[in-house]
A and B are shown apart, each in its own frame.
Chain A
Amino acid sequence: DGGITQSPKYLFRKEGQNVTLSCEQNLNHDAMYWYRQDPGQGLRLIYYSQIVNDFQKGDIAEGYSVSREKKESFPLTVTSAQKNPTAFYLCASSPRPRGEQFFGPGTRLTVL
């Protein structure tokens, strides 16, 4: 089946540890995105990539890092510099820049 997968669904980490969230798509989409969603809030863009080996900061990039070494993969690292990392993280992909975005199921990160 074609789609976007995020793993794991739930993730727990201790404060001060870096953690990497996985996002994989087999839709052959060029563009990929990472969003953060807090309870009762909308989506805020962290990073996006329109092509392999290139990515841009979104609105809340501080404390996060990404890589785009393969078209199908766009992992997000939440570093210890992120002051409030507990949130629901959503990955999305799009067949082209400025196209409709399709979302994965999300990863809920809890930092203890």
Chain B
Amino acid sequence: GQQLNQSPQSMFIQEGEDVSMNCTSSSIFNTWLWYKQEPGEGPVLLIALYKAGELTSNGRLTAQFGITRKDSFLNISASIPSDVGIYFCAGYTGTASKLTFGTGTRLQVTL
């Protein structure tokens, strides 16, 4: 199945820094979802986006639905050690009933 391109693949940052990651596709998406997964656990839904241009925040997290509907961005401000994990984007395209997942961005936070 199709996968979304996420970048960067991994990030090593210091505590307190801001983080940006994005997800791109060649197809138009109707919904964008951002998840965080910690080792050995299931992904947790962070933010859901439903309209092109939509900007939504959840605490220190902010995500945007790209105007072209082919991309989405996630920003984390003032990172803390518990932000460590893998961040996945996902979305629905066209009339598909299946979520398409990104390849993941692995975030490491150092003190």
Contact = CB atoms under 8 A, between A and B. Distances in A.
A99 B63 CA distance: 18
A106 B97 contact: no
B42 A101 contact: no
User: What 9 pairs across the A-B complex have the smallest Cβ distances?
Assistant: A103-B42, A59-B1, A100-B48, A42-B101, A106-B42, A43-B101, A103-B43, A98-B92, A105-B42
Interface string A4-30: 101000000000000000000000000
Q: How large is the interface on A (under 10, 10 to 19, 20 to 34, 35 or more residues)?
A: 20 to 34
Interface residues of B, number: 24
A42 B92 contact: no
Interface string B75-101: 000000000000010101000111101
Contacts of A56: 97
Interface of B: 1, 3, 30-31, 33, 35, 40-45, 48, 88, 90, 92, 96-99, 101-104
Interface of A: 4, 6, 33, 42-45, 48, 50, 56, 58-59, 88, 90, 92, 97-98, 100-106, 108
6 contacts: A90-B43, A97-B97, A98-B31, A100-B48, A103-B35, A106-B41
